[in-house]
Amino acid sequence: MIKTEQHIDQKLFPILEQVSDPEIPVLSIMEMGVVRTAVIENNIVKVQITPTYSGCPAMDVIGEDIKKALKEKGYNSEIELILAPAWTTDWITPKGRKALEDYGIAAPLDAEADKSVLLDGKRLVKCTNCNSTNTRLVSQFGSTACKAQFQCDDCQEPFDYFKCLK
Amino acid sequence: MKENLYKYILGIADNSLILGQRLGELCGHGPSLETDIACTNISLDLFGQVRSYYQYAAKIIGDGRSEDDIAMLRKEREYVNVLLVEQPNTDFAYTIGRQFLFDVYHFLFLKELQKSHDLTLSAIATKSIKEVSYHQRFSSDWVKRLGDGTVESHQKMQDAIDSLWTYTDELFHQTEADKIIVSEGIGVDVTVLKAEYYATVSKILTESTLKVPKSKWFQKGGKEGIHTEHLGYLLSDLQYMQRTYPNMEW
């Protein structure tokens, strides 16, 4: 019943890769791992997307953007929002992590490290500006639901950290 | 069956809706930028969860009402949230105390709801619990900071916990609909969560140098639609747009 793997028709991949996360424009929705299924059935593309956070306001926009991108290539589509299996930061691809870092958002650590950073004030998150790990948590919540605020104590750069969600 | 499941879902969703609205009131009014953003982020998570629940409730009841109708167009006595979540943002200690006393429950509840035989509810729970674990970290952290802070912050935090304590027992009450849904393997038997709830809450309060209230006098009524005087004002805010401009859409 529950599918953990992705089903993406390879023909559709280049089209979907062009759609970006409206909150983090450098990141494609494919790198983000929010597209779980994209298959062509009776000339209609059926797409299943899953939200990063329940209240993520980007999901409606992402759905519309996917429709538009597919339409431009001559496909009609149906978008379905699914909750299971729940999205995890593990689904962000290595390329996606790199894009996040380049954009100035520290990519999520593993669950254990994340906990010790957010709860015990351990200094493990790498500054996106100078790579120092002499960074501290400013707030567990940031500009969007998925991020926390950090500051580097070496170069003083304030930056976002993408919280681990498992 | 349908009616009971519908009521059961509202029992879960209304808590998140009303608490989300309370937290939303702090948008632009939080005591600091970070706490302002945190409270509204938590509010956003709760509203996101609420949408999933109300969409499902609308499907179950199948009488043409949408998720928005269910959220916005009920009367005060038709909301079945617990009294705790409708309590006002008296000061930041109350906001944190209310959040903490709810988060500890919410986490334990969702942990069990993940095992529900209803696949939609278990999916929502599995999604939500990840978010709620962050909420609980945030509120517990602030209880400790304020409790173990200055003389004044300690006193304010203690006052908030003492006043809100009377609303905690209701979290573990069951309505008739709840009992039926629990017997079907769909709902969570909240009565069994009680011991772990008070143990967790007491542990964190003690760590925060706060006293665990001794009072055994508890308020109830929210789950039956009998609310404190605060809910009406909250709803008049929440429902204003829909009542002034019926059927308006964002």
Closest residue to A56, CB basis, from B48, B122, B128: B48
Q: Which domain holds residue B226?
A: 2-244
Closest residue to B131, CB basis, from A54, A85, A139: A54
Q: Please name the residue of chain B whose CA is at the shortest distance from the CA of residue A144.
A: B41
Q: Is residue B189 one of the residues assigned to a domain?
A: yes
- CA atoms of A161 and A109, how far apart (whole Å): 9
What is the maximum span of chain A, computed from C-alpha positions, in angstroms?
A: 57
Helix (H, G, I), strand (E, B) or coil at A1: coil
- Residue A72, pLDDT above cutoff 60: yes
Q: What are phi and psi of A82, to 5 degrees?
A: -120, 150
Contact indicator for A48, A37 with CB cutoff of 8 Å: yes
Residues 6+ apart with CB under 8 A from A41: none
Using omega within 30 degrees of 0 as the cis cutoff, is the peptide bond preceding A85 cis?
yes
Q: Three-state secondary structure along chain B?
A: CHHHHHHHHHHHHHHHHHHHHHHHCCCCCCCCHHHHHHHHHHHHHHHHHHHHHHHHHHHHHCCCCCHHHHHHCCCHHHCCCCHHHHCCCCCHHHHHHHHHHHHHHHHHHHHHHCCCCCHHHHHHHHHHHHHHHHHHHHHHHHHHHHHCCCHHHHHHHHHHHHHHHHHCHHHHCCCHHHHHHHHCCCCCCHHHHHHHHHHHHHHHHHHCCCCCCCCCCCCCCHHHCCCCCHHHHHHHHHCHHHHHCCCCCC
- CA atoms of A98 and B136, how far apart (whole Å): 30
Residues 6+ apart with CB under 8 A from A141: A147, A148, A149, B34, B37, B38, B41, B42, B134, B138
CA distance A11 to chain B (A): 30
- Integer angstrom CA distances of residue B225 from B2, B8, B37, B78, B83: 20, 13, 31, 6, 10
Q: Is residue B233 one of the residues assigned to a domain?
A: yes
- Residue A1, pLDDT above cutoff 70: no
Q: A86 and chain B: CB distance < 8 Å anywhere?
A: yes
> What was the pLDDT predicted at A2?
43
The CATH number of residue B222's host domain is: 1.20.1260.10
- Partners of residue A47 on adjacent β-strands: A38, A79
Q: Is residue B204 one of the residues assigned to a domain?
A: yes
Q: Answer yes or no: do B46 and A140 touch at CB < 8 A.
A: no
- CATH code of domain A7-87: 3.30.300.130
Query: Number of structural domains, chain B?
Result: 1
**Contact pairs from chain A to chain B, CB under 8 Å:** 75
pLDDT in tens, A154-164: 999 999 999 98
Q: Locate the domains of chain A by residue range.
A: 7-87, 104-162
> What was the pLDDT predicted at B1?
64
Lowest-pLDDT choice from A53-57, A95-99, A150-154, B109-113: A53-57
- Two structure tokens written together for B135: 């909420």
Q: pLDDT confidence of A68, banded at 50, 70, 90?
A: very high
- CA atoms of A28 and A42, how far apart (whole Å): 27
- Two structure tokens written together for B83: 């009294």
Q: Is residue B219 one of the residues assigned to a domain?
A: yes
Query: CA angle, A76 as apex, A75 and A79 as ends, to 5°?
Result: 120
Instruction: Find chain A residues with C-beta within 8 A of B134's C-beta.
Output: 140-141, 163
Q: Is residue B202 one of the residues assigned to a domain?
A: yes
Place of tokens 């669950």: A111
- CA atoms of A119 and A108, how far apart (whole Å): 15
- CA atoms of B69 and A125, how far apart (whole Å): 44
ipTM confidence score: 0.80
Prediction pTM value: 0.90
Q: At residue B129, what is the residue type?
A: I
Compute the average pLDDT of residues A99-104: 92
- CA atoms of B10 and B223, how far apart (whole Å): 10
> What was the pLDDT predicted at A58?
85
Count CB-CB contacts under 10 A for residue B63. Answer: 8
Output the tens digit of pLDDT for each of chain B's 250 residues: 699 999 999 999 999 999 999 999 999 999 998 899 999 999 999 999 999 999 999 999 999 999 999 999 999 999 999 999 999 999 999 999 999 999 999 999 999 999 999 999 999 999 999 999 999 999 999 999 999 999 999 999 999 999 999 999 999 999 999 999 999 999 999 999 999 999 999 999 999 999 999 999 999 999 999 999 999 999 999 999 999 999 888 7
